[in-house]
Amino acid sequence: MELNCSPNILAKMIDHSLLHPTLSDDEIRHGCRLAMKYDVAAVCVKPYAVRIAAEVLGSANIAICAVTAFPHGNSTASAKIFEAEEAIRAGATEIDAVVNIGKVISGDWTYVFEEVRALNNAVTANGAILKLIFENCFLNDSQIIRLCDICSENHVAFAKTSTGFGFVRQIDGSYHYHGATDHHLRIMREHCPPEVKIKAAGGIRTLKDLLRVRQLGATRIGATATAIILEEARKMASHGGI
């Protein structure tokens, strides 16, 4: 495994995820301080936590990313827009919004297109960028490709694989999800133009995982294992990157 870039470059691929439903305010503050230590791209927080993140991060060169309609995407379009705009007013400059998954599966592409267009227009009009979360583990390849087309047609900044919370009930009654798979990343990179970037999320826990999705075209990842990933990258860099 070759690093082929500095740990600092890899750090700026990471949105440090602080989205678990049980996180306390102090744990969010600790996560923001960790993000500052490693100088990552962004912290990804729940909408109410944007102000907490802003207080901790101050003038640090780390974006605040707020999720919208997370994790199931079931809110109305107007509610998604309201939530996004409120988060931006509080200090967010990036919005990770979950698409209406049920409408995608229903094939109501007019609804999906109009929702994405309205949400992207609202976010960009307020000086932020949109990352549209597909939740690929619920979708088939043709649905993923159509969502890539919609991102392209609406000039969405990022197409994102997953929430990390898209647990699917299996035949045996257990719940698990696939996260950012190689297959889905290849589809997304192939069917999104270069100006629509790819964010991989779900199951990226090691440096090897990060380098794998980077090779497949992802330029951002969502991760909770930030320290593990970047400490390994630093160790490799100190030994010549091999």
Task: Tell me which DSSP letter residue 138 carries.
Answer: G
Distance CA 226, CA 37 (A): 11
Q: Are β-strands 168-169 and 42-45 bridged in parallel, bridged antiparallel, or unpaired?
A: unpaired
Which superfamily is assigned to 7-238 in CATH? Aldolase class I (3.20.20.70)
pLDDT of residue 174: 63
Q: Which residue matches tokens 């045996």? A: 172
Domain residue ranges of the chain, discontinuous segments joined by +: 7-238
By residue count, the chain amounts to: 242
User: Average model confidence (pLDDT) for the chain?
Assistant: 94
**Mean pLDDT throughout 206-210?**
97
Give the model's confidence band at 219: pLDDT under 50 very low, under 70 low, under 90 confident, else very high.
very high
Which H or E element spans position 36?
helix 25-38
Higher confidence at residue 226 or residue 137?
Answer: 226
Share of the chain above pLDDT 70, in %: 95
Give the model's confidence band at 178: pLDDT under 50 very low, under 70 low, under 90 confident, else very high.
confident
Q: How many CB atoms lie within 10 A of CB 30?
A: 14
**Mean pLDDT throughout 177-202?**
95
pLDDT of residue 4: 77
Share of the chain above pLDDT 90, in %: 88
The single residue of 96, 131, 197, 209 carrying the catalytic annotation is 96
Higher confidence at residue 26 or residue 1?
Answer: 26
C-alpha pair distances (Å), 222 with each of 56, 167, 199, 215 = 20, 17, 7, 16
Q: Is the pLDDT of residue 176 over 70?
A: no
**Longest Cα pair distance anywhere in the chain, in angstroms?**
53
Least Cα distance to 80 among 59, 99, 55 occurs for 99
How confident is the model over 140-169, as pLDDT tens digits? Answer: 999 999 999 999 999 999 999 999 887 766
**Mean pLDDT throughout 221-237?**
96
The single residue of 46, 131, 197, 199 carrying the catalytic annotation is 199
Least Cα distance to 220 among 94, 100, 113 occurs for 94
Q: Is the pLDDT of residue 215 over 60?
A: yes
Examine the residue annotation and report whether 12 is marked as an active-site residue of this protein: no
What type of residue sits at position 174? S
pLDDT of residue 1: 63
pLDDT of residue 242: 47
Contacts of 137 (CB under 8 A, 6+ apart): 162, 166, 168, 177, 178, 179
Read off the pTM. 0.94
**Residue 175 backbone dihedrals phi, psi, to 5 degrees:** -125, 130
Q: Which residue matches tokens 């490709």? A: 145
Examine the residue annotation and report whether 160 is marked as an active-site residue of this protein: yes
Distance CA 121, CA 118 (A): 5
Give the model's confidence band at 222: pLDDT under 50 very low, under 70 low, under 90 confident, else very high.
very high
How confident is the model over 41-88, as pLDDT tens digits? Answer: 999 999 999 999 999 999 999 999 999 999 999 999 999 999 999 999
Distance CA 204, CA 221 (A): 8
The single residue of 131, 160, 197, 209 carrying the catalytic annotation is 160
Examine the residue annotation and report whether 131 is marked as an active-site residue of this protein: no
Higher confidence at residue 168 or residue 194?
Answer: 194
Higher confidence at residue 164 or residue 172?
Answer: 164
The token pair at 110 is: 């007019």
Q: Are β-strands 42-45 and 129-133 bridged in parallel, bridged antiparallel, or unpaired?
A: unpaired
